[in-house]
Amino acid sequence: MKLIRMILPVVIVAAGFFAATQDAGATVEMAKKEKAGCTSCHVKAKDKELNEVGKCYKESKDLKQCKK
């Protein structure tokens, strides 16, 4: 019982840490490749919600085509 009381809080904190550090779906490699910031495709930086350009990019993988 004592062991469970010690391990359970550690597991909860670890799970919260991993849930909070998930990225927005885009990668640093994508940003470097396209030479564009997060808000080129996302409504807000560090947000998963895509704007129209982001939705287009998700389908075509060509940012120049989507920004026209």
- Structure tokens of 25? 């779906």
Give DSSP secondary structure letters for 10-35. Answer: HHHHHHHHHHHT---S--HHHHHHHT
Q: Helix, strand, or coil here: 47?
A: coil
- pLDDT at 4 (0 to 100): 82
- Cut 0.85: pTM above it: no
Residue 61's pLDDT band (boundaries 50, 70, 90)?
A: confident
- pLDDT at 55 (0 to 100): 92
Phi-psi region of 36 (alpha: psi -120 to 50; beta: other; left: phi over 0): beta
pLDDT tens profile 7-16: 988 888 888 7
pLDDT tens profile 2-51: 888 889 888 888 887 766 655 556 677 888 888 888 888 888 887 889 99
